[in-house]
Structure 1
Amino acid sequence: MNTLLLDSDDADEHARLDDVIGAVERAFGAYERGNAQMPAKSYIDLPQYNGDFRSMPAYLDTGEWDAAGLKWVNVHPDNPEDHGLPTVLGTMIYSDPETAFPLAIIDGTTLTMKRTGAAAAVATDYLAVDDATSLGIVGAGVQSYTQLEAISEVRPIEEVVVADKDEGRIQRFVDTYGDAFDVRAGSIAEAGHCDVLSTVTPVEEPIVGREDVGEYTHVNAIGADAEGKHELADDLLLDARVVIDDHEQCTHSGEVNVPYGEGVLTDDDIYGEIGQLVVGDLSGRDAETGVTVFDSTGLAIQDVAAARVAYENARESDAGYAFGMIDTDAR
């Protein structure tokens, strides 16, 4: 029995977004039903390298399939300038839950982008207006690409407004998607008055206020993934229907972590978790809903779900590089 190695190109091709979105939605549902195990993300801090490692294991059983895996990922902000490497690098080990055999080793960086976009798409499907055709994006880095690609799977997006201080990033984004969408540069307020807004920045001082978003805008808050990060102003969060992916992670390192830690925002101000919408315990958008916010920290169950999609699709296509990492004759 062989282990399948899937590099970034393989992961990109076979972790197809429509499949990943469906798998991530099932993962949220399994987690809400108690059919998943996801220990807290553990950190190894490396201040001497201005970086850290994070380990993210998970197991889930959707009722249709079960899956297990571990993502080993980092954040090293100096990588691009000092080493010509991405800030975030990830490796995914995807295992057979029954035997623990390592079925695949997959580029976790690509999977992270796919599952992050997929989570935003799931939230958008439950919380955005049905006829949403415009998408605003604040922050035109690598995550912005899968935000557009994934959200356009669940809503008929036509117009895209991108805000970023780096004009080069905006131009690259426009060059990439200008033929498929009506893409233009704009201010944060112009982006925020779209039907859907995704914020994908690492800021620690809020850059999007209540006045910057429309009356019925749905906001995917993606950028906050560590304690102290904070993209949305407190008045916006307090005025919105706030849905989170996981209470422990979000209150520690998600978009709500700063106001929650200060007592400005409490559990009473959090509508619920995305899994509650998926299983039907809470409604998504209704006639009385105004602004909605999805606080996405990224869960290990999402990585495992995306890994299963990549592995199954690659196996069906006879893709990737199969190698004998384990001596199956050993006893």
Structure 2
Amino acid sequence: METLLLDPDAVAECARSGAVVEAVEAAFAAYARGDAQMPAKSYIDLPQYDGDFRSMPAYMETGEWDGAGVKWVNSHPNNPDAHDLPTVMGTMIYSDPETALPLAIMDGTTLTRERTGAAAAVATDHLAVQDADSLGLIGVGAQAHAQLEAIATVRDIETVVVADRDPDAIAAFCEAFGDAYEVREGTIAEAAGCDVVSTTTPVREPIVPREAVGEHTHVNAMGADAEGKHELEDEILLDAKLVIDDHAQCTHSGEINVPYAAGTLTDADIHAELGDVVIGEETGRTDADGITVFDSTGLAIQDVASAHVVYEYASKHDVGTAMELVGTGR
């Protein structure tokens, strides 16, 4: 009746990219089939502390396993300067649906990074050209690392073009991946011309122009996670086969939220949710497609799926610290 405690290093060790991508794809499929429960993300606003809490619960059943969990995550922008703490911290509780036993309590920040990269990989696998071998990364923070690691499990990436205003971030990325890939710094336009592009910036004014995007480029729009954020020019979204992760979340806080609120983009411009593409209810890339775009806001089912991978690996390889969190008896 033990619960595993898994810190950031343990989660990073156990979140093997290929396995997480497979699990996240299964999560999208379960959601599309109706084999998942995912209540809306709930918020506790704390203006007196310039922050908030968010809870993200979910249950899913894949046919091979089922799992439940909740991620408790915050956003406190003043933390770094005022308290020497991260702006965002997350904790994931992964539970046995049959007994409700908390199987693991794990770092949710690392988990989020890995599952976000995995979502882009699932979308890339279904929407990018099969022979894609170049990846453009616009924004080269920690999430860009996860994007490359995950996308490289579904496409044979050889060349990586990185664009960022921070030379230190570019240097760190090149040091991390320069031996495995041909990595070079480029402009936003050069990155946007690659076969696959992932954008991971927090901007509120579009920075990727329509004319820069390649004729058959697939774009993973990952940066918009709040109302008003917007990385891609509207013309990109309007010209693309547009796939989203969840209609309610994307129209409220995803890449499409600004043009959707303005009426520039409507439901008629949205091709499908990714889960419907995964299960074959809607088409992925076809020979007739030009630009494709995936709008990702991040779903609680992705956290549960990734937590399942982490827990299973940790259990088999003796990773983490076991503790008697729940006692026996009645």
Give the whole-Å Cα distance in 2 for the aligned partners of 1:85 and 1:177.
28
Which consecutive segments of 4 or more residues in structure 1 shift more than 6 A? none
Q: After the TM superposition, which of the residue ranges 26-35 and 205-214 deviates more from structure 2? A: 205-214
Give the whole-Å Cα distance in 2 for the aligned partners of 1:169 and 1:84.
20
Matches for 1:91-240 after TM superposition, within 5 Å: 91-240=91-240
Aligned AA (2:69): G
Aligned AA (1:285): R
Aligned AA (1:84): D
CA 80–211 in structure 1, closer or farther in 2 if over 3 Å, else same: farther
Give the whole-Å Cα distance in 2 for the aligned partners of 1:193 and 1:79.
37
Give the whole-Å Cα distance in 1 for the aligned partners of 2:49 and 2:183.
38
Deviation at 1:214, TM superposition (A): 0.5
Matches for 1:243-254 after TM superposition, within 5 Å: 243-254=243-254
Does residue 8 (structure 1) correspond to residue 8 (structure 2)? The answer is yes
Q: CA RMSD in A?
A: 1.0
- 1:61 paired residue number: 61
Give the whole-Å Cα distance in 2 for the aligned partners of 1:75 and 1:208.
26
Aligned AA (2:8): S
Give the whole-Å Cα distance in 1 for the aligned partners of 2:270 and 2:260.
10
Does residue 71 (structure 1) correspond to residue 68 (structure 2)? The answer is no
Q: After the TM superposition, which of the residue ranges 307-316 and 50-59 deviates more from structure 2? A: 50-59
Give the whole-Å Cα distance in 2 for the aligned partners of 1:78 and 1:130.
44
- 1:38 paired residue number: 38
Does the residue aligned with 2:69 lie in a helix, a strand or coil?
strand
Q: Deviations over 1:176-204 (max 9, x none)?
A: 11111111111000000000000000111
- 1:325 paired residue number: 325
- 2:264 paired residue number: 264
Instruction: Give the TM-score normalised by structure 2.
Output: 0.98
Aligned AA (2:265): L
Deviation at 1:253, TM superposition (A): 0.6
Give the whole-Å Cα distance in 2 for the aligned partners of 1:307 and 1:123.
20
Give the whole-Å Cα distance in 1 for the aligned partners of 2:55 and 2:121.
25
Contiguous gaps of at least 5 residues in structure 2: none
CA 84–141 in structure 1, closer or farther in 2 if over 3 Å, else same: farther
Give the whole-Å Cα distance in 1 for the aligned partners of 2:191 and 2:53.
33
Does the residue aligned with 2:271 lie in a helix, a strand or coil?
strand
Does the residue aligned with 2:153 lie in a helix, a strand or coil?
helix
- 1:302 paired residue number: 302
Deviation at 1:51, TM superposition (A): 2.3
Deviation at 1:78, TM superposition (A): 3.1
Deviation at 1:46, TM superposition (A): 2.3
Deviation at 1:320, TM superposition (A): 0.8
Contiguous gaps of at least 5 residues in structure 1: none
- 1:23 paired residue number: 23
Aligned AA (1:241): K
Does residue 277 (structure 1) correspond to residue 269 (structure 2)? The answer is no
Give the whole-Å Cα distance in 1 for the aligned partners of 2:144 and 2:80.
18
Give the whole-Å Cα distance in 1 for the aligned partners of 2:204 and 2:248.
19
Give the whole-Å Cα distance in 2 for the aligned partners of 1:235 and 1:291.
11
| Identical columns (%) | 68
CA 222–26 in structure 1, closer or farther in 2 if over 3 Å, else same: same
Deviation at 1:83, TM superposition (A): 3.3
Give the whole-Å Cα distance in 1 for the aligned partners of 2:79 and 2:142.
15
Count residues with an aligned counterpart: 330
Does the residue aligned with 1:153 lie in a helix, a strand or coil?
coil
